[in-house]
Amino acid sequence: MHELSVTESILEIACRHAEQAQAARVTDVHLVIGRLSSIIDDSVQFYWDLISKETLCEDARLHFKRTPAILTCQDCHQEFELTTELIPCPNCGSARIRVLSGDEFNIESIEIERKS
Amino acid sequence: MSDKRIKIVEKIFDANDRLAQQNRQRFDDSNTFAINLMASPGAGKTTFILATINAMLDSNVRIGVIEGDTAPVTIDSDKIAAAGMPAIQVNTGGQCHMDALMVESALEQLSLEELDLVIVENVGNLICPASFDLGTHSKIVIASVPEGDDKPYKYPNIYRGLDVLIINKIDLLPYLDFDMDYFRQGVEMLNPGLETFALSSKTGEGLESWLTWLKNKLPQ
Ligand SMILES: Nc1nc2c(ncn2[C@@H]2O[C@H](COP(=O)(O)OP(=O)(O)OP(=O)(O)O)[C@@H](O)[C@H]2O)c(=O)[nH]1
Ligand SMILES: [Mg+2]
Ligand SMILES: [Zn+2]
Q: What domain range includes position A13?
A: 2-68+102-114
> Distance from A96 to chain B by nearest Cα, in Å?
5
Residue B3's pLDDT band (cuts 50, 70, 90): low
> Distance from B141 to chain A by nearest Cα, in Å?
18
B139 lines ligand 1 (CB under 6 A): no
- pTM score above 0.90: no
Instruction: Say how many domains are in chain A.
Output: 1
pLDDT, one tens digit per residue, over B82-119 is: 999 999 999 888 788 899 999 999 999 999 999 999 99
Q: What domain range includes position B137?
A: 3-217
Look up the CATH number of the domain holding residue B148.
3.40.50.300
How many whole angstroms separate alpha carbon A49 and alpha carbon A22? 22
pLDDT, one tens digit per residue, over B131-175 is: 899 999 999 999 999 999 999 988 888 898 899 999 999 999 999
Of A85, A108, A111, the CB nearest to B4: A111
Residue-level pLDDT at B1: 47
Of B5, B15, B185, the CB nearest to A12: B15
B46 lines ligand 1 (CB under 6 A): yes
Which residues, 6+ apart, have CB-to-CB distance to B1 below 8 Å?
Answer: A27, A113
**Contacts of B81-90 spanning 24+ positions with Cβ under 8 A:** B83/B50, B83/B53, B83/B54, B84/B53, B84/B57, B85/B53, B86/B110, B86/B111, B86/B115, B88/B64, B90/B66
Interface predicted TM-score of the whole assembly (ipTM), two decimals = 0.74
**A21 within a domain of the structure (yes/no):** yes
- Which residue of chain A comes nearest to B154, CA vs CA? A85
Q: Which residues does chain A have with pLDDT short of 70?
A: 1
Instruction: Say how many domains are in chain B.
Output: 1
Amino acid in the structure at residue B199: L
Residue-level pLDDT at B2: 46
B200 lines ligand 1 (CB under 6 A): yes
Please check whether residue B142 is in contact with residue B162, taking contact to mean a CB–CB distance below 8 angstroms: no
How far, in Å, is the centroid of ligand 3 from the Cα of A35?
22
**A91 within a domain of the structure (yes/no):** no
> Among B196, B168, B198, B181, which Cα is nearest to B42's?
B168
The yes-or-no verdict on residue B219 having pLDDT over 90 is no
Look up the CATH number of the domain holding residue A24.
3.30.2320.50
How many whole angstroms separate alpha carbon A47 and alpha carbon A36? 21
Task: Express as a percent the part of chain B with pLDDT over 70.
Answer: 99
